[in-house]
């Protein structure tokens, strides 16, 4: 028995997978909440919050029997953290700021078992429900269930999109729209032709190498998201628990103020 990567299965069918970000949550309930809201996956954002490795691992383990896919965005290229999180239940790693094929290769080496990479073997773990499993199967199952998501956040990354997409072991090329716009000198201009051109060239690279195009940072504009889905995007980052809390709280306050 192994737990399944529901997000991965949906992407394999050519469907759109929706992913929620979490920065506030420190307990396992967030997995159930993400699932109850209809998300296919969520990611713990270790790049932009102070959540600990241990809390992140507990959230990932709790998500497995729920069925929602647990991902983690690591804080940089500290792949020792990524490998430990995969050992402790994460079914995918989002690596920020991948700008070259060499950086993508390092990502794959750390997070894939041989022959694709050099990930250290930890034996049967959360993915297998801690059931006794031959090591050859543990490694095979780990590679099959793990999604590696490379974020393109610089003009250099976009220029190297084809080389990154061609790399075995990379599953998704995720454009970090806000960081990319900032690096391009057009911060906040999410409909700038430069950003659109970046999406188009990356979509072409993904199609050529049978990889998934991901979009992040455009959640507030549903029509824009729909356009990018038509372009080929299938992995879509939605809002975070921070943004959902703020939005809901503001609406509640506005309603109560009107009752005064």
Q: Tell me the average pLDDT across 17-35.
A: 97
Q: Is the peptide bond before 115 cis (omega within 30 degrees of 0)?
A: yes
For 6-258, give the CATH class.
alpha beta
| 48 annotated active-site | yes
| pLDDT for the residue 1 | 64
205-224 pLDDT per residue, tens: 999 999 999 999 998 889 99
The pTM of the whole model exceeds 0.85: yes
**Mean pLDDT over each residue of the chain, to the nearest integer:** 96
Q: Tell me the average pLDDT across 190-213.
A: 98
Percentage of residues in the chain with pLDDT exceeding 90?
A: 96
| pLDDT for the residue 255 | 95
Residue 148 CB contacts under 8 Å (≥ 6 apart), including other chains? 92, 93, 95, 107, 108, 111, 112, 169, 170, 171, 172
- Domain residue extents for the chain: 6-258
| pLDDT for the residue 214 | 98
Task: From the candidates 48, 77, 209, 224, give the one annotated as an active-site residue.
Answer: 48
Is the pLDDT assigned to residue 78 strictly greater than 80? yes
Q: Tell me the average pLDDT across 236-247.
A: 95
Q: Tell me the average pLDDT across 44-73.
A: 97
| pLDDT for the residue 174 | 98
H or E stretch at 87: helix 79-87
Percentage of residues in the chain with pLDDT exceeding 70?
A: 100
H or E stretch at 92: strand 92-95
């Amino acid at each position: 028995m192994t737990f399944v990567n529901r997000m991965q299965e949906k992407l394999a069918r050519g469907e759109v997978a929706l992913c929620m970000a979490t920065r506030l949550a420190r307990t396992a309930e967030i997995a159930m909440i993400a699932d109850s809201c209809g998300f296919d996956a969520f990611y713990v954002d270790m790049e932009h919050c102070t959540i600990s490795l241990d809390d992140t691992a507990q959230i990932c383990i709790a998500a497995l029997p729920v069925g929602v896919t647990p991902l983690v965005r690591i804080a940089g290229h500290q792949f020792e953290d990524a490998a430990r999180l995969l050992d402790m239940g994460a079914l995918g790693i989002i690596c920020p700021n991948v700008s070259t094929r060499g950086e993508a290769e390092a990502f794959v080496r750390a997070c894939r078992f041989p022959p694709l990479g050099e990930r250290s073997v930890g034996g049967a773990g959360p993915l297998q429900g801690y059931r006794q499993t031959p090591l050859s199967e543990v490694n095979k199952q780990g590679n099959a269930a793990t999604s590696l998501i490379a974020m393109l956040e610089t003009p250099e990354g976009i220029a190297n999109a084809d080389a990154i997409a061609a790399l075995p072991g990379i599953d998704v090329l995720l454009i970090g729209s806000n960081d990319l716009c900032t690096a391009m000198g057009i911060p906040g201009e999410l409909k700038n032709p430069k950003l659109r051109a970046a999406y188009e060239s990356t979509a072409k690279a993904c199609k050529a190498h049978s990889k998934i195009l991901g979009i992040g940072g455009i959640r507030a504009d549903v029509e824009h998201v729909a356009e990018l889905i038509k372009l080929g995007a299938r992995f879509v980052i939605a809002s975070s628990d921070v943004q959902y809390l703020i939005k809901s709280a503001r609406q509640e306050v506005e309603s109560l103020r009107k009752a005064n």
